[in-house]
Amino acid sequence: MYDEEIVKQHTISQEQIETITEQVIETKTFGKEPVKNPVCVIVMGQTGSGKSGLIAHSKKMFPDGNVVVIEDDDIRKFFPNEKQIAKDHPEEHVPITNQLSRPATQKLFAALMEAGYNIVFHQTGGNKMIADDGMMKLVENGYSIVVNALAVSGEKSLASMIGRGLGQIEYEGYYRPVTIADHDRTLNGMPNTIKYIEEIGRFDVVQVFQRGPQPDQPVMVYSKINPDRPEHVANIASHPAVSAEDQFGEFSSAHEALIATREADRVAFIEQYPEIREGLVTSPFITPELAEQTVVLDQRVGFSPAPVTGPIDSFTE
């Protein structure tokens, strides 16, 4: 739990939020141009799944680089003294920077849609808001819509989340904690969101990937076009790095592909887990919080290890 008093101490005014939001929009659109037939790629994956690699892959649809990426963490960096806040108050970092990231993301998205920029929009898919609100507005503004979903098991994404924390400590001297509850919310919510998007048909192409040999080289396991929006599908088909087949893969739906690929990923991860775990618990940068998350991961994998013996007590920021 975060300290509400600390959050209050870092309150910024509405005027500051509006001024910084204008800076965000100006920075994000610098060197970019609106287009006649804009495309928005919605990138979905739970916390720790490796969405940054799928974002990089999705950007390949626009070889001229004329696309604006909307990513929450990028917008948080515009908050005054964001790095110092992350270092001094890691538990409060997200609620403090939410003051800016939420309204700025909404206004950036609206400004891009109104002008007609190509967009790659990072989402966890933890709830249906993007389908009910964001994707409806994209349809109203004449966008072609691609949904790229990353199928990674919860066990692997949790391990990646722990590893990312260790990396932040090593290279930055501190880390921004993510709770297992937040991880699980996005993990469990995403299949429902994908299923809902399919049911309402608010997409032109939906694709499911698993991690590939490199982060920006995911492997497609499923793709389907929306036959009710042929003009938009044709627009998307003119871009590289996207499938325009009526349907690709052995699965009957993106939802089924996501669930089945996650399960196969889970089986493979469990086989590799002892070696992966060794790298986590022997890290000189492990903290009590990350050690506790590793214990939870052990339980989910069904692994019975000796107690975590990393240099927990000696850790200092």
Domain that holds residue 246: 32-67+117-260
Predicted pLDDT at 312: 46
Predicted pLDDT at 247: 85
Predicted pLDDT at 179: 92
pLDDT at residue 314 tops 50: no
pLDDT at residue 317 tops 60: no
For residue 306, is it within any domain? no
Predicted pLDDT at 310: 53
For residue 278, is it within any domain? no
For residue 218, is it within any domain? yes
> Of 42 and 2, which is predicted with more confidence?
42
Predicted pLDDT at 311: 52
Predicted pLDDT at 176: 87
Predicted pLDDT at 138: 97
Q: What is the pTM of this model?
A: 0.92
Give 81-108 pLDDT, tens digit per residue: 999 999 999 889 999 999 999 999 999 9
For residue 27, is it within any domain? no
Q: How many domains does the chain have?
A: 1
Sequence-separated (6 or more) residues with CB below 8 Å from residue 124 = 44, 45, 46, 47, 51, 186, 189, 190
For residue 105, is it within any domain? no
CATH number at residue 131: 3.40.50.300
Predicted pLDDT at 14: 96
Give how far Cα 234 sits from Cα of 17, 47, 94, 308, Å.
39, 32, 40, 54
- The pLDDT mean for the chain works out to 93
Q: Are 265 and 150 in contact (CB under 8 A)?
A: no
For residue 315, is it within any domain? no
Predicted pLDDT at 245: 73
Strand positions, DSSP E, the chain = 39-44, 68-70, 119-123, 144-150, 205-210, 219-225, 247-248
* 3-class state of residue 214 by DSSP: coil
Predicted pLDDT at 242: 85
Give 288-300 pLDDT, tens digit per residue: 999 999 999 999 9
> Of 123 and 310, which is predicted with more confidence?
123
For residue 240, is it within any domain? yes
Lowest mean pLDDT across 8-22, 126-140, 147-161, 244-258: 244-258
Exposed e or buried b per residue across 12-38, where buried means at least 16 C-beta atoms within 10 angstroms of its C-beta: eeeeebeebbeebbeebbeebeeeeeb
Q: Which two tokens stand for residue 225?
A: 């076009």
Q: What's the rounded mean pLDDT across residues 152-159?
A: 98
Q: What's the rounded mean pLDDT across residues 103-123?
A: 97
Percent share of the chain, pLDDT over 70: 96
Q: What's the rounded mean pLDDT across residues 216-239?
A: 93
For residue 181, is it within any domain? yes
Give 242-275 pLDDT, tens digit per residue: 876 788 889 999 999 999 999 999 999 999 999 9
* 3-class state of residue 249 by DSSP: coil
